[in-house]
Structure 1
């Protein structure tokens, strides 16, 4: 994949003819047919081609207090928004630019995360100790025209007034936040959460001889891994599905955005202590998996009868592809996942969870 043309942010004409949206210090024209999601601190636009396995995610971040130096602000944002989240290396810088008194810096680099590779680009605007950021993540240059059109549609408000003092005491919070706010609150949910039907309902397993285990690993860098394994005694095949992608936490809202995934069938091999064939043999087939972005309401708590295990409760108004039927309270539309690791036989060889 070549370096995309939208890296050159300077010299563009900020003109658009479609209906504009406003966010913080920016206005923009949304990309047609892309999904747009808003939170207090971000706006994200997502385009996905499931048939080809390609995606593009553009995220706008609310302006924050920063340095008066545009290069310093870019470096801080690159470290916290790009390197920490996607492990990208040193950026290839684009030409600097100016817009309504804002100084613009842009850079791009390759990334490889959880089996997904592509390019990530950061554009940082600086004016009077304020900084605003945009991150563009994609694995295909097929989105170049949409990205160029979107970037060209952005209008920045006129240069804000000079901040009297950008330093704050430990007890003071800047009105527009600070560069530390670029760090996400993903730590509030990071960890491994598993739903194991055999463990939760031994009677169901004893009667049906069907066992399923699914779970999430939420990494502190804003990425996630998901798997779903189903075993049926007497069936010569095991089914296994997986996803990788990104997630964000905003208060009690958890948004999961899958970027890559597939459904697989495996042969069985070996026996466990009870004589049942649960282990993976050879992968027999791969089929396309539908990728579904969902924003859940979540809560972490212990449950009656188990005051030691922290459970992740997810709530959404309809059943999802990942979570299937509600596993905790159907009327309340809740799923539950316990904070423990899956057994080794739930994961096929070579899969990193």
Structure 2
């Protein structure tokens, strides 16, 4: 694919407005012009713009992250976000093809691009990072087609950064504080890891296909836990559901799970094809009960006023799946806000247990 060769020709005007008459939008330290007809999703962490051709499966995605505090160099920031925003979302086999760094308005801008695969999809990913004024911001582009080349070029050339020297107030950034979870009450509650199925790019700002992958840990103050997993994928015929119950114990920053029972299986999808409905049991599956001791940390994110649970396993487990460094992040959630429901007739034994989640986690 030759798509982004043209994009980098425009590097010299990367931070200049495409057209003074074009209406721009702003997010944090960046302003941009959204391509006509593209969908927009925005939350505390960033903005995603996307477009999909439902007939051909062609898509393009642009992601703008919120500026975060950073005392690292431009190269280190690029590598960190390449791992976090690109490699964590799709399979990238080669190192990115890097462009010459440029400096604009106090920002050191680095960019690189590489081919990727995502299941049967193949595409090209580009990351641009700007470092300056004690913070950094990133823009990610992903596409599997040249169909939206002009839109992407226009978007790139519409990007405009505010002066880095004027953005040193870290109160607008998403600062984090890490503390070890040292007492049992610190992790009591419901912790979730919800991922939207995408047609090419996922991590908080995905291009949704309509499907989802969900995991939950509910840690009760009596030392028991319930783990549930539900996968409803558009391109998979059946719904996968797993549950596991057992005991947990926290010793310093080590969390030990001892499974007692578990069950997995596949259910047909409802005739309506709604993701909230079930069909009938298609087949049962075995579920491996794997005792594990995690290293556990609690990270507080000031931007979202939320404490998240970080679990690092010594090795890969069927329960957690595959992830870089076997590290998994779970967000807090009130029990009545769970997005996982049991299949018809299935009981875990935890249906009537009371779970108190500290309100400070889910502000």
Q: TM-score, normalized by length of structure 1?
A: 0.53
Deviation at 1:246, TM superposition (A): 4.3
Q: Does 1:81 align with 2:85?
A: yes
Q: Distance in 2 between matches of 1:299 and 1:102?
A: 40
For 1:15, the equivalent position in structure 2 comes to: 18
Number of the residue aligned with 1:137: 142
- 1:87 offset after TM fit, Å? 2.8
TM-superposed CA distance for 1:100, in Å, is: 2.1
1:313 deviation in Å?
A: 11
> In the alignment, what sits opposite 1:125?
130
CA–CA separation in structure 2 for the residues paired with 1:123 and 1:320: 44
Q: How do 1:205-244 residues align onto structure 2 when only pairs under 5 Å count?
A: 224=197
What SS class does the counterpart of residue 135 from structure 1 fall into?
strand
Inter-partner Cα distance in structure 2 for 1:309 and 1:70 = 40
The Cα offsets for residues 243-280 of structure 1, whole Å up to 9 and x where unpaired, read as 8554445xxxxx7634xxxxxxxxxxxxxxxxxxxxxx
Out of 155, 160, 168, the residue aligned to residue 160 of structure 2 is: 155
**Is the CA contact (8 Å cut-off) linking 1:41 and 1:62 kept in structure 2?**
yes
**Map of 1:2 onto structure 2:** 2
1:177 aligns with 2:174: yes
Give the C-alpha shift of residue 108 in structure 1. Answer: 0.2
Partner of 1:272: none
**Residue in structure 2 matched with residue 38 of structure 1 by the alignment:** 42
Aligned pairs (5 A) from 1:301-312: 310=228
Give unpaired runs (5+ residues) of structure 1: 167-173, 182-186, 191-217, 225-242, 250-254, 259-290, 339-353
The counterpart of 1:115, out of the listed 99, 120, 136, is 120
Q: Report the CA distance shift for 1:256/1:300 in structure 2 as closer, same or farther (over 3 A).
A: farther
Partner Cα separation in structure 2 for residue 80 and residue 148 of structure 1: 24
Deviates more, 1:77-86 or 1:8-17: 8-17
Q: Deviations over 1:198-218 (max 9, x none)?
A: xxxxxxxxxxxxxxxxxxxx5
Could you tell me whether the CA contact under 8 Å between 1:256 and 1:293 is conserved in 2?
no
- Distance (Å, rounded) in 1 between the aligned partners of 2:122 and 2:272: 24
Task: Give the superposed CA RMSD.
Answer: 4.1
For 1:31, what is the secondary structure of its paired residue?
coil
Structure 2, unaligned runs of 5 or more: 179-190, 220-224, 233-269, 280-336, 344-363
CA contact (8 A) 2:97 2:112 kept: yes
Determine the structure 1 residue equivalent to 2:110: 105
Distance 1:26 1:146 in 2: 18
Contact 1:10 1:104 in 2 (8 A): no
Cα distance, 1:85–1:320 mapped onto 2, change above 3 Å: farther
Paired positions, count: 227
Check the 8 A contact 2:85/2:203 in 1, yes or no.
no
1:321 deviates by: 7.5
Tell me if structure 1 keeps the 8 A contact 2:127–2:139.
Answer: yes
TM-superposed deviation, 1:337: 5.2
CA 1:60–1:153: 2 relative to 1, 3 Å: same
Map of 1:257 onto structure 2: 207
Distance in 1 between the 2:177 and 2:274 partners? 34
What is the aligned counterpart of 1:63 among 63, 67, 70? 67
Describe the SS at the equivalent of 1:188: strand
After superposition, the Cα gap between the structure-2 partners of 1:111 and 1:245, relative to the gap in structure 1 and judged at 3 Å, is closer
